[in-house]
Structure 1
Amino acid sequence: MPNNKAEKIKILYVDDEEINLQAFRTTFKHDFEIQLAASSKDALQILSNKSFDIIISDQRMPSETGLDFLTTVMNEYPEPIRLLLSAYSDIQLVQEAIQEGVIYHYLTKPWDEAYFKNIIRNAYETYCLRKEVKNLQKEILDLKRDFEIPSK
């Protein structure tokens, strides 16, 4: 979880429908630090200037699907945990996206607030553990270099 009580989980929520953006902000603004984007293009612009712990995208948007957007995010910004949200279901597509690591979890609209918060917190825990593993791997490599015997 965040290092101190003042620090909140940073979430970028992407949805082309203004009502969904406002509903998300209203529902979760007290629990998380939220940035909204009305398109994948806007979201990528925001991502170029700010980092997030979790990125949530609607699946059906006019310019591209949420999975296409999250695939781009995965390739350009691999650290944030990615969640997909949709009122529609294509289970085969979602299962493949989870298996390939494109998304961490899939949620349906309308969302259940308590369940959604739980998924966000679980996703953040995964985010923190991945960062910790990455830092430990770097420390191990540094230690190996420090104790390497020079070759003659």
Structure 2
Amino acid sequence: MTDEQITILYIDDEPHNLTAFKAAFRREYTIFIAESAAEGRKILDNNDIHILITDQRMPNITGIEFLESILEIHPNPIRMLLTGYADISAVIDAINKGQVYRYISKPWDEQELRQNIKNGYDVYMLRKKNKQLTEDLASANDQLEFLLRQKLLS
């Protein structure tokens, strides 16, 4: 992996789920927890979050609606949806609207969730590296175009 500490935001309206999650993973990751979408948005605005895990069924907004609402401002975190309800239309919406990387059932299996976090972080880092390589290639292309124009003008 890397020396960088993986940062996770877990949003759930049930405080005991937040407590259990933090207790299970706090030694391995930097954990942020939020009891509402509004609280989660504030944490996202003020921290570099790698993995975003949200409950599907919350008051006022579903997990999918929340994920969809933050895509433009916070496109980078890897999104996971956690729910105790198996609803195929929610799964489809999660993938299509919220760009969800994984759909995880409650109660979660700690080892499976840990592996999903690791895999999600790997995807996060690959996307970050890909973005940097694309920017470097565009810059090199601009420099080459400039040099070719200079050569044609001389």
What's 2:81 paired with?
84
Measure how far apart 1:92 and its partner are: 2.6
Q: As a proportion of its length, which structure holds more helix?
A: 2
Q: Does the CA-based 8 Å contact 2:52-2:80 persist in structure 1?
A: yes
Contact 2:51–2:78 (CA under 8 A) maintained in structure 1: yes
Compute the TM-score of the two structures, normalised by the length of structure 2.
Answer: 0.91
The DSSP-based 3-state class of the residue aligned with 1:93 is: helix
Residue deviations 1:102-121 (CA, integer Å, cap 9, x gap): 20000010000000000010
Match of 2:5 among 5, 8, 22: 8
Could you state the TM-score of these two structures normalised by the residue count of structure 1? 0.92
* Corresponding position of 1:116: 113
The 5 A counterparts of 1:1-152 are 1-2=1-2, 4=3, 7-99=4-96, 102-148=99-145, 149-150=148-149
- Paired amino acid for 1:84: L
Q: Kindly, what percent of the aligned residue pairs are identical?
A: 41
State the Cα deviation string for residues 90-143 of structure 1 (Å, max 9, x = none).
123213432456200000100000000000100000000000100000000000
5+ residue gaps, structure 1, are none
> CA distance change for structure 1 residues 141 and 101 in 2, over 3 Å: closer, same or farther?
farther
Q: CA deviation at 1:48?
A: 1.2
Please tell me whether the aligned partners of residues 64 and 93 of structure 2 are also in contact (alpha carbons under 8 angstroms).
no
Between the aligned partners of 1:71 and 1:35, the Cα distance in structure 2 is 20
Local SS of the residue matching 2:76: coil
**Structure 2 portions without partners, runs of 5+:** none
RMSD, aligned CA: 1.4
* SS of equivalent to 1:68: helix
Contact in 1 for aligned 2:81/2:94 (Cα 8 Å): no
Larger of the two Rg values belongs to structure: 2
Matched residue pairs, number? 149
Contact 2:67/2:98 (8 A) holds in 1: no
What's the secondary structure of 1:52's corresponding residue? coil
User: C-alpha distance in 2, partners of 1:113/1:15?
Assistant: 17
